[in-house]
Structure 1
Amino acid sequence: MKIDRTVVRSLLLFDRISDGDLDRLLTHATARRVTAGDAVFEQGQVAENFFLLVHGRLKVTQVTQDGQQIIVRIVHPGDLFGFAKALQRLDYPGTAKAAAESVILCWPTDLWPQFVEQNPRLAVSAMQTIGQRLEEAHTRIREMSTQEVERRVAHAVLRLSQQAGRQEGHGIRIDFPITKQDIAEMTGTTLHTVSRILTSWEERGLVEGGRQKLLVIDSAGLRSLAEGARD
């Protein structure tokens, strides 16, 4: 698949890099189209490449020791992912699957040191990504340890609306297919519980659901729930 430099240039990560430096980076890259539901890599697989998401959305999941699957990260356009070498790992700690049809760039893992040494801004971006992932992980651990389920679900939906939302009519649409099972895996609860909560929220005018769709109608109301406020 041919790499469109203008599309890559439009990503925030590359907006200040020179044309020459960008061309050198892309010389070593391979572009791939990933169909919704297909995996880019699997948990435990040897980390032969690292990646950049150009278009679409990805879900990164992990299977815990007790067999529970959890969603640990949503990958958005412009995000680097799968850089196991930066984490001092030889394998991928999770499975990355396309939540919608996606386009990715991939580079051989052996090029990671050269990638960051020759492109300081990309190195900073990778460090920031790692920091954000750690902060999000700590936040979610704290939420699951101390908060009731409805608050956790409210936090998860608000984060999705902020990171992947677009204005649509009278609300904010999560801009990729999202299921109740996905939300359950993000919040450490069950599909039944998420279904019950979302049905209640729809009745109260906080959200509108649909098949793999979620529209946030009342962000302030959800924020109140996330903060523990009661009607």
Structure 2
Amino acid sequence: MPNQNQCPHGGDHSESCDACDFAPASVWSDMPADFMTSLAERKTVRKLKRGNYLFHQGDPCDAVFRLLSGVLLLRKGDHDGNSLVVRMVRPGSTLGYRALVRGEVHSVSAHCATEVVVCHIPARAARWAFEQNRALERDFVANLVRDIDQIEDQALNMLTLCVRDRVLVLLYQMAEHFGRDEGEALCIDTPVSKSDMAAMLGIARESMSRCIRLIEEQGLLRFHHDGVVAPCRKRFQAAVDAILGEVAPKSEDDRPASNG
């Protein structure tokens, strides 16, 4: 029978918290060794396939999660059953803490945009950890505040850009995980719909449609049903660099492509 704590992700992540890629930068990094050993006995590492859900909006919060690899989309549903993506979560992020401390259900659903690996810390184990080490609890609160500040800063930065530039920057960010090179072109298998992108950027669907037409007329991107293509990757890169104010040339290793 396989060890439930053994990470199934090709050996990239160990069951040992000390060996975790994110441990040095996490709130757990300064915890005593015996404390971390006890915690490791309580947590598990889970692997979920693309398309699955880590949790659903309205589910009781029964765990805190650390995203070790992959990308999650946080979806918010309304009373009519419509669901829109509100945020894209990358490795190193912690999920579930706010709902845990408030004693509330999850306010969003966590949808796997790719295959993901998470460190699963049951709610009882998380509460035990906070009771055993109040400094850890304070660090979690401080991290939560920093996350909120970062989200607000990113939202503010996006709002200072015109609609066209917001769309280009978002697609550039998606290319990190969902892009692949095809000759001189860059293909982005976008994990969200155009409506989702509009919601993430805080723009109306009509504005999104007009923006897409403009970008296509400029020859920067071509939008398809299941993705986006930049016919000239270097031109797309240059356009994003101009938006972000980056003047230093990018090396081949810095280009936005993956999965290829």
The TM-score with structure 2 as length reference comes to: 0.63
* CA distance, structure 1, for counterparts of residue 64 and residue 229 of structure 2: 31
**Are 2:65 and 1:51 equivalent residues in the alignment?**
yes
- Map of 2:237 onto structure 1: 217
- Map of 1:132 onto structure 2: 147
**Are 2:97 and 1:76 equivalent residues in the alignment?**
no
Counterpart of 2:196 (choices 158, 182, 185) is 182
Q: CA deviation at 1:31?
A: 1.9
What fraction of aligned residue pairs are identical, expressed as a percent?
A: 19
**Are 2:25 and 1:25 equivalent residues in the alignment?**
no
* CA distance, structure 2, for counterparts of residue 126 and residue 67 of structure 1: 32
**Are 2:90 and 1:101 equivalent residues in the alignment?**
no
* CA distance, structure 2, for counterparts of residue 16 and residue 213 of structure 1: 43
Residue 198 to residue 50, structure 1, CA distance change in 2 (3 Å): same
Q: CA deviation at 1:203?
A: 4.8
Task: Decide whether the 8 Å contact of 2:39 with 2:125 is kept in 1.
Answer: no
Q: Which runs of structure 2 are paired with 1:156-171 in the superposition (5 Å)?
A: 156-157=170-171, 160=173
Q: CA deviation at 1:155?
A: 5.3
Note the alpha carbon deviations across 1:185-206, whole angstroms, 9 max, x for none: 3123456653553453355355
* CA distance, structure 1, for counterparts of residue 199 and residue 148 of structure 2: 17
Supply the RMSD in Å over aligned alpha carbons.
Answer: 4.2
* CA distance, structure 2, for counterparts of residue 18 and residue 208 of structure 1: 53
Counterpart of 1:194 (choices 203, 208, 233) is 208
* CA distance, structure 2, for counterparts of residue 16 and residue 204 of structure 1: 51
- Map of 1:118 onto structure 2: 133
Residue 190 to residue 58, structure 1, CA distance change in 2 (3 Å): same
Counterpart of 1:39 (choices 45, 53, 76) is 53
Out of 55-64 and 85-94, give the one that drifted further.
Answer: 85-94
Q: CA deviation at 1:107?
A: 1.5
SS of 2:50 mapped into structure 1: coil
User: How many pairs were matched up?
Assistant: 222
- Map of 1:10 onto structure 2: 21
* CA distance, structure 2, for counterparts of residue 141 and residue 68 of structure 1: 26
* CA distance, structure 1, for counterparts of residue 189 and residue 21 of structure 2: 19
AA paired with 1:118? Answer: N
Residue 84 to residue 121, structure 1, CA distance change in 2 (3 Å): closer
Note the alpha carbon deviations across 1:14-42, whole angstroms, 9 max, x for none: 66666654433221112221111111111
Structure 2: give runs of 5+ residues left out of the alignment.
8-13, 231-235, 246-260
Residue 152 to residue 68, structure 1, CA distance change in 2 (3 Å): farther
Task: Decide whether the 8 Å contact of 2:61 with 2:100 is kept in 1.
Answer: no
The TM-score with structure 1 as length reference comes to: 0.69
Q: CA deviation at 1:43?
A: 1.0
SS of 2:106 mapped into structure 1: coil
SS of 1:182 mapped into structure 2: helix
* CA distance, structure 1, for counterparts of residue 188 and residue 135 of structure 2: 33
Structure 1: give runs of 5+ residues left out of the alignment.
225-231
Q: CA deviation at 1:161?
A: 6.0
SS of 1:93 mapped into structure 2: coil
